[in-house]
Chains A and B, each alone.
Chain A
């Protein structure tokens, strides 16, 4: 590498870094907005956290005392400043219900959700892209038709229904895998399949159409004309260029994985963040809901950033 190339690479590096910093700074107002909106929504939502704390039978003296201790009797602005102040210091607060710190609760569960979502995504990407590439080889052929039909079914089936079918078939009838719970890889397979199914279908369709676009373009004709093998054309020129829309879908789908995981976690008794949030909502555990939403927003911001960086990696023409 000569001197000039060195400089160009360094310049690229600085550009990427400054892009990342810019994006992270832009994330601050976004996250603040999330904080405000969540707080206000929960403030006006019906249901009372203190009544959830005390259970079915209580006395008004206890309720009044708890309300005061939790600052729930203060004006909304002062409640918000107190909460936001804690968040700035990295303190997401303590659960009203369990009396445990929210952050450690969230950090205990998030890796499990990530493991499930990651496995489902991996399964979906490999299967979906493979099916898409193969379908694009002979559009209208038997494989393409079967995969199209399969994709429609896959997109239409709700995740809880797929989940229950998988449990009935593989756990109850065949006894191959455990029906639910968290543990080794055997526990991971069914929920990941259930969560990934919709995405496989979607990714297969997107990959197929992107591949068809690319394979019909001029530069691919040129590549074929210069005598490259079909395999090299498809993999090197076709797939690489078809990846952009696929990455977009994967990035967008990440949100689906995190929210879709609520249902999957419930069906498969998977101890992830989705169930934590659902539980927190049903018990009106305000700090737990706020903390989880904020945490997930941070994850979303990071994933969007990674998606954009991945574009640039896949396509040199994308300017950061």
Chain B
């Protein structure tokens, strides 16, 4: 048992961009921002959304005007008080072209936000500070899940005065105060004794930046870090080892692994060809053999843990005969030629090779194009890939975060829809769902959209990943998060051995 009062995390594998919420576009940045800052709402480890700096909110009968009631008596780490004008200032800052952040979209539902971001308006017309503890937000159209987006790191609240080096010396209202940032080495935070939801139990929190997984494993084995994110390909060895098995904890994550099928290229325009691809690949085998069984097969894009998931929608079976028949129907009895793009990360290259082998069985000749993540992303967004093997992590826990960015025609290309899927029925169902205030009706629309996606097969649906962590036996009060900013370490602590009298 380590004799330290600092919690040590090993999950970051590269240096955060910045600690400025306005620049939080990657995982290490978002995670650090979620320690130092609060939003109006926040995520729990199980990816529920709960009030944070806002204590409650109500929606007016027009369906677009929200009144958020803010928590009284909250102070920033530098002692200044938090009030409604900080909210307005923070969001203007995220959208301000001068910030060059590029993460404005979570606030775009607010009326006037896009005009402000384009430099065409001096302020955001849909934001009104009513008094110190009340802010009124008017949206352009009804968008029932909007409060969920206010838990994203990009919309976190910063003080009115932000010096130019704010990204290096952040000040928020969150559970942890920033102490130090040694680039590419570690971030250090101290607990905020004034934190509005009760000070964290541990004295401090260190986020080590460890690029190499084997090194993180060594640090874990040496007892120097408290948690380790075990990647899928390593999970069998951790699970089969008697000593490490009891340390493992898992949680379903909001991550979809899939092959985006570009629905605008050659034979892939034909839905039968796309269905044939889905039928020709034994995803169950890939999940078991290459991912250590860590996940559930995807029938559509909505993960099982989210509302709108349809348990009766079955994943495509492995059926090569039907795949061949569909290809023949579509006019390709001699098969087709495709390029399958993959990045070099994790298991993707091996998954790509396996898909290649399966597709060869039904006459689809696949050429694998392996590139670094950046080149592949550019090619996929420019429509240069037939199938792009990739994954998608939810930014907020809602089915909309899968249906809309990945498959709505508004988001073709850079918006996330690299299938370039454009289906009027699907678009209208998803757009209606976004506007639908009634939960049950919205969930029904989500199910409808997901069934359409399944049937239209704009993706090679693979699986929803199940996160696996190794957690040291002495670490208590830590929950494996389903969304990456879900665990803020406030209840985590190192269990002390019972005090014994000195010998």
How far does the alpha carbon of A66 sit from the alpha carbon of B168 in the complex, in Å?
22
Q: Tell me whether B14 is interfacial, beta carbon within 8 Å.
A: yes
Residues on A with C-beta less than 8 A from B212 are 266-267, 269
Is A65 within 8 A of B97, CB to CB? yes
Q: Tell me whether B103 is interfacial, beta carbon within 8 Å.
A: yes
B14, B18, B392, B414: which contacts A59 (Cβ < 8 A)? B414
Q: Tell me whether B183 is interfacial, beta carbon within 8 Å.
A: yes
Q: Tell me whether B105 is interfacial, beta carbon within 8 Å.
A: yes
Residues on A with C-beta less than 8 A from B372 are 47, 282
Interface 1/0 per residue, A146-180 and B, CB below 8 Å: 00000000000000000010011001100100111
Residues on B with C-beta less than 8 A from A269 are 184-185, 208-212, 215
B14, B210, B381: which contacts A279 (Cβ < 8 A)? B14
Distance in Å: Cβ of A230 to nearest Cβ of chain B: 47
How far does the alpha carbon of A82 sit from the alpha carbon of B185 in the complex, in Å?
33
Residues on A with C-beta less than 8 A from B104 are 59, 62
Is A271 within 8 A of B219, CB to CB? no
How far does the alpha carbon of A275 sit from the alpha carbon of B185 in the complex, in Å?
11
Interface 1/0 per residue, B75-118 and A, CB below 8 Å: 00000000000000000000001001011110010000010011
Residues in B312-371 with C-beta less than 8 Å from chain A:
371
Q: Tell me whether B445 is interfacial, beta carbon within 8 Å.
A: no
Is B414 within 8 A of A54, CB to CB? yes
How far does the alpha carbon of A182 sit from the alpha carbon of B224 in the complex, in Å?
14
A50, A276, A284: which contacts B184 (Cβ < 8 A)? A276
A47, A99, A172: which contacts B23 (Cβ < 8 A)? A99
Residues on B with C-beta less than 8 A from A268 are 215
Is B222 within 8 A of A172, CB to CB? yes
How far does the alpha carbon of A65 sit from the alpha carbon of B15 in the complex, in Å?
26
Is B25 within 8 A of A181, CB to CB? no
Distance in Å: Cβ of A164 to nearest Cβ of chain B: 6
Residues on B with C-beta less than 8 A from A314 are none
Q: Tell me whether A108 is interfacial, beta carbon within 8 Å.
A: yes
How far does the alpha carbon of A273 sit from the alpha carbon of B415 in the complex, in Å?
33
Q: Tell me whether A55 is interfacial, beta carbon within 8 Å.
A: yes
Is B379 within 8 A of A46, CB to CB? yes
Q: Tell me whether B432 is interfacial, beta carbon within 8 Å.
A: no
Q: Tell me whether A16 is interfacial, beta carbon within 8 Å.
A: no
Is A57 within 8 A of B18, CB to CB? no
Is A58 within 8 A of B105, CB to CB? yes
How far does the alpha carbon of A258 sit from the alpha carbon of B371 in the complex, in Å?
25
Is B25 within 8 A of A55, CB to CB? yes
How far does the alpha carbon of A56 sit from the alpha carbon of B377 in the complex, in Å?
9
Is A181 within 8 A of B414, CB to CB? no
Distance in Å: Cβ of A179 to nearest Cβ of chain B: 4
Q: Tell me whether B17 is interfacial, beta carbon within 8 Å.
A: yes
How far does the alpha carbon of A267 sit from the alpha carbon of B413 in the complex, in Å?
36
Residues on B with C-beta less than 8 A from A62 are 102, 104-105, 117
Residues of B within 8 A of A (CB): 14-15, 17-18, 23, 25-26, 97, 100, 102-105, 108, 114, 117-118, 167-168, 182-186, 208-212, 214-215, 218-219, 221-222, 224, 371-375, 377-379, 381, 392-393, 395, 405, 411, 413-416
Q: List 28 A-B contacts (CB under 8 A).
A: A46-B374, A48-B378, A50-B102, A51-B377, A54-B102, A56-B25, A56-B393, A57-B415, A58-B102, A58-B414, A59-B415, A61-B114, A61-B118, A97-B17, A99-B100, A100-B167, A108-B183, A164-B214, A172-B221, A179-B219, A181-B185, A266-B212, A269-B185, A269-B209, A271-B185, A272-B184, A275-B211, A279-B14
Q: Known contacts A59-B108, A60-B415; can you find 17 more A-B pairs with CB under 8 A?
A: A46-B371, A46-B378, A48-B374, A51-B414, A53-B100, A54-B102, A55-B25, A59-B104, A61-B117, A66-B100, A69-B100, A98-B18, A100-B167, A168-B218, A179-B224, A267-B215, A275-B184
